[in-house]
Chains A and B, each alone.
Chain A
């Protein structure tokens, strides 16, 4: 048992008094509330773009419990841009195969990244505390003006108008007030900011209870996602098994709607269930929780100068890993836009596109999450019959396998957005306007291997394929030429981008494709960049 206690990773931080707590009320350009993954990502992204950030958190430590464990390829690409992607992948368990069982029989398997030539894997599993630890270390390492991270600063009041917000904050030294031009509320599913603004958080409530247990053991299961309907060790319910670092395994068991949450969390109740699943009791319990969930969202994410991101704005079931992943994608979408607005390089209305793009993504995530939950936890006899019918037919017909839904795993959204310029030329390949760029293995001028997304980085980029005409230039963009700065190592870039000599791709600071031309002219590029920055 001593080992189990050692495994409980807690990171403790120090409260420090800020000069802002003395004298008259200070005004800061951006205050982020909540130092979870979403708040940390948006703060780091803003700071990397030269916007100073105050980041407030009511706690002073990273909590125990693995919580979110699955990080998808797109999220890892964002984390990589923020400087922690490689550390997360090094520590995490990489996986891409999912298997779905009914009873003891495998119904089907799915591969989440069937092609090679991408820097980041389809998924890693990593305890949330490791992600937060890496992000905190990164936040602290950023040079001034950087991030002013204030632990044990609990926001208890929030008033805002069209020009800014005033926060009332409690600390161990007593209360103080802080003004902000912009507030980002990344304060989680129970968001106090949402309550302070009196906003409704509406959606569907699910009654099914699930037991989540992190178990430490030496197991010989592969690094895959295994999901059972009606498993032999947990009849009539569902089960999920996932590997995490440090020989920790995530087990998730459906308990039905009538289960007693406090009873089910007791070790004398949990241990026999796990023993039955594993067939032995050579394990220790790291963390146990019983949860229910809701799928819901705010009607609007932007309220004057207060912007909601992550779980405070939208909440999904865990099936599909769409919570933390979508929250980090919110941060990715918001940071560059807010940075341009704060620096006066784009109108405030650019943030409308944050709301539009990310609320469409939230709807997509909620839709997938709700449909998965319908299948995993049917609520009526008739829903159970449909589920059982699909499972029974799945052994006989492919179409029914496609209906079997154990969670559709997080994929990035393709934004149908006014920031994109519609194609005027015909294109093949996997790159699409509004979607994140596909990665590709390249070489730099010195012949070193470099990934396309690393080369693109965080700015506005005109990615140009060398042709007869000189590469295009724009004062707001960096031009990157394939055939000069980068070499397409094995043709993956050409295939994925359907590249032809002289083609130009306009890339947003969040690495989504914004416009493309077989042959771009100056006016088309000017218009597209104006449109992308909300100035058109």
Chain B
């Protein structure tokens, strides 16, 4: 696996806050659309098909049980 699982951000709390801030004032649909645009931008920045597929696989693997909602 090439995907980085360790932290690469100098300040993860600030990065998290930037994501939260980006959604302030948006409705739920607008938020979903923003996130989708963001995924496309970050996928392009990644610039690597294999890495992108690993990232997708990780995101799917981390899906919580649907029974817990």
Do most interface residues of chain B lie in helix, strand or loop, or is the interface mixed? Answer: helix
Q: How far is the CA of A374 from the CA of B12 in the complex (A)?
A: 13
* One of B9, B32, B61 near A396 (C-beta < 8 A): B61
Given that A382-B23, A382-B26, A392-B63 are known contacts, is A397 also in contact with B5, CB under 8 Å in the complex? yes
Q: How far is the CA of A360 from the CA of B63 in the complex (A)?
A: 40
Question: B32 to chain A: which residues have CB within 8 Å?
Answer: 382
Report whether B19 and A405 are in contact in the complex, using a CB–CB cutoff of 8 Å: no
What are 18 A-B pairs at a CB distance below 8 A? Answer: A370-B17, A371-B14, A371-B17, A375-B16, A386-B20, A392-B62, A393-B58, A393-B59, A395-B62, A396-B58, A397-B58, A398-B6, A398-B7, A399-B4, A399-B8, A403-B16, A405-B13, A405-B16
Report whether A371 and B13 are in contact in the complex, using a CB–CB cutoff of 8 Å: yes
The residue in chain A whose Cβ has the minimal distance to the Cβ of B69 is: A236
Shortest distance from the beta carbon of A72 to any chain B beta carbon, whole Å:
18
Given that A386-B19, A398-B6 are known contacts, is A403 also in contact with B13, CB under 8 Å in the complex? yes
- A266: Cβ under 8 A from any B Cβ: no
9 closest A-B pairs by beta carbon, nearest first, are A382-B31, A397-B5, A399-B7, A402-B7, A402-B12, A392-B62, A371-B13, A382-B23, A393-B62
Question: B62 to chain A: which residues have CB within 8 Å?
Answer: 389, 392-393, 395-397
Given that A371-B17, A392-B63, A405-B16 are known contacts, is A380 also in contact with B5, CB under 8 Å in the complex? no
Question: B58 to chain A: which residues have CB within 8 Å?
Answer: 393, 396-397
For the A-B complex, the count of residue pairs with Cβ-Cβ distances under 8 Å equals 63
Q: How far is the CA of A383 from the CA of B23 in the complex (A)?
A: 8
Q: How far is the CA of A246 from the CA of B14 in the complex (A)?
A: 38
- A343: Cβ under 8 A from any B Cβ: no
Q: How far is the CA of A346 from the CA of B57 in the complex (A)?
A: 64
- How many B residues face the partner with a CB closer than 8 A? 26
- A368: Cβ under 8 A from any B Cβ: yes
Report whether B23 and A398 are in contact in the complex, using a CB–CB cutoff of 8 Å: no
Report whether A368 and B13 are in contact in the complex, using a CB–CB cutoff of 8 Å: yes
- A390: Cβ under 8 A from any B Cβ: yes
The residue in chain B whose Cβ has the minimal distance to the Cβ of A372 is: B13
Question: B19 to chain A: which residues have CB within 8 Å?
Answer: 386
Report whether B13 and A398 are in contact in the complex, using a CB–CB cutoff of 8 Å: no
- A426: Cβ under 8 A from any B Cβ: no
Q: How far is the CA of A456 from the CA of B64 in the complex (A)?
A: 54
Question: B48 to chain A: which residues have CB within 8 Å?
Answer: none
Shortest distance from the beta carbon of A186 to any chain B beta carbon, whole Å:
30
Q: How far is the CA of A408 from the CA of B62 in the complex (A)?
A: 25
Q: Which positions 378-437 of chain A face chain B at CB distance < 8 Å?
A: 380-383, 386, 388-390, 392-393, 395-399, 402-403, 405, 408
Contacts A386-B20, A393-B62 aside, 13 further interface pairs with beta carbons under 8 A come to A371-B13, A374-B16, A380-B28, A382-B32, A389-B62, A392-B63, A392-B64, A396-B62, A399-B4, A399-B7, A402-B7, A402-B9, A408-B13
